[in-house]
Amino acid sequence: MPLRPRALALTAGVLSGALLLTSCAGSATAPGGGANDSDRRTVTFMGFFGTFQDSFTSTVIEPFEDANPDIRIEYVPIQNSAEVLAKLRASKQRPVADVALMDSSVAPTANEEGLFARLDPALVPNLEELVDAARLQEGYGPGLTLDSLSILYNSDRVADAPTSWNDLWDEEFAGRLAMPIADTRGVALLIALSDLLGEDYQQDIDPAIDRLKELAPGVQTWQPSPDVYTSVQSGEVDVAVGWNARGQFYQDSSDGTVVPVLPEEGTVQQVNSINLVNNSANAEAAQKFIDYAISAEAQKAFGDDAYYAPVNENAELDPEVAERTTASETQQERQIAADWSWLTTRYTAWVDRIKREVIGD
């Protein structure tokens, strides 16, 4: 299939550090800012940095601001859900954001701690159009993106493409692996490996942990910089694990150097939720933004550009894009069931075991 031309230049590797510094300095500027900013309500949104920010800004935030000139969205880039959780815990009474993205396996912890607020269905009518996987729990934030874990490889350096999770242990790749698994990627990988080993992850993850221990000597880096996709593209590493959507984006922007692979044994679907921060001073405007972000219009625009499967049942991606997302028939057939609600109470313990027993932190 020919690669689709991208409207956005890939600037994540160069700009992500600068964007993070900007957010820490409190001087991030959202599109559309101008002389009338004093007359506008500002909704601060914590979202992932790099290519996610580029795409989400152009396909969701800018159209929303055009349609709602009285609301300005300030984008604060973050690296992962753990960073969001830490920032919101530190600012619980006077939160530093109004809306925040968070992995669906971490969000329930934030809900229980009172960091997020329940949504008003009257202000977020698009909740009625969500697919089952994105349905909100107990009235809290719904899913915004659907993605899946994949293997990534550098097609310029790897002659025989990996097709199985077992290929990560191939001697050919020893010393040329990037495994950023001290987060949700590691949790998803434990589920996939447990399934491959014929084990029930809800009963015992020891076999999967042991399997990863065997891989550890061949890992070049556990924390590729600035991110795993750039490391694969540059040839710093040959093979890695990462998320499909960003892998597809980088496949386009790298002219096919980065290639994401759906392992033949199957993979695990992951959901990021969009949440209303408790004690937000802009709750009504924030919920208006959340409603737009999960609308069919926004989900199609964002999905077509960034390769996330839509959470709105009425959003239809371009056929050639849909085939490369977790919404494709192939990916749906190869989904390994994961109970993320159950994992909420095990997530931290699993990540700690990966850090301690596999990575050696």
State residue 9's pLDDT score. 41
Q: Are the C-beta atoms of 95 and 278 separated by less than 8 Å?
A: yes
CA gap 216, 222 in Å, rounded: 9
State residue 202's pLDDT score. 97
> Omega before 226 cis (within 30°)?
yes
Extract the tokens encoding 237. 């590493």
pLDDT interval class at 167 (50, 70, 90): very high
314 or 32, which is more confident: 314
Q: Within a 10 A sphere around the Cβ of 117, how many other Cβ atoms?
A: 19
Q: Are the C-beta atoms of 224 and 146 separated by less than 8 Å?
A: no
Extract the tokens encoding 24. 């820490």
Q: Is the pLDDT of residue 248 over 60?
A: yes
State residue 286's pLDDT score. 98
Residue 180, phi-psi category: left (phi > 0), alpha (psi -120 to 50), beta (remainder): beta
276-307 pLDDT, tens digit each:
999 999 999 999 999 999 999 999 999 999 99
List CB contacts of 270: < 8 A, sequence separation 6 or more: 103, 104, 146, 147, 148, 149, 184, 188, 243
State residue 347's pLDDT score. 93
Q: Is the pLDDT of residue 235 over 80?
A: yes
pTM recorded for the entire structure: 0.85
310-351 pLDDT, tens digit each:
999 999 999 999 999 998 988 888 899 999 889 988 999 999
List CB contacts of 132: < 8 A, sequence separation 6 or more: none
Q: Hey, is 176 helix, strand or coil?
A: coil
pLDDT interval class at 212 (50, 70, 90): very high
State residue 38's pLDDT score. 65
171-201 pLDDT, tens digit each:
999 999 999 999 999 999 999 999 999 999 9
CA gap 164, 261 in Å, rounded: 9
pLDDT interval class at 37 (50, 70, 90): low
63-90 pLDDT, tens digit each:
999 999 999 999 999 988 999 999 999 9
Mean pLDDT of 261-284: 96
Which DSSP string do the residues of 80-149 spell out, in sequence order?
-HHHHHHHHHHTSSS-S-SEEEEETTTHHHHHHTT-EE---TTT-GGGGGB-GGGPPSTTSPPEEEEEEE
Extract the tokens encoding 193. 């490996």
pLDDT interval class at 7 (50, 70, 90): very low
State residue 136's pLDDT score. 75
Q: For the ranges 3-7, 64-68, 78-82, 267-271, which has the lowest average pLDDT?
A: 3-7
Q: Are the C-beta atoms of 177 and 237 separated by less than 8 Å?
A: yes
pLDDT interval class at 144 (50, 70, 90): very high
pLDDT interval class at 40 (50, 70, 90): confident
Q: Is the pLDDT of residue 19 over 80?
A: no
Give the phi and the psi of residue 160 in degrees, each rounded to 5. -105, 110
Average pLDDT score, the chain: 90
Q: Is the pLDDT of residue 91 over 80?
A: yes
Give the phi and the psi of residue 206 in degrees, each rounded to 5. -55, -45
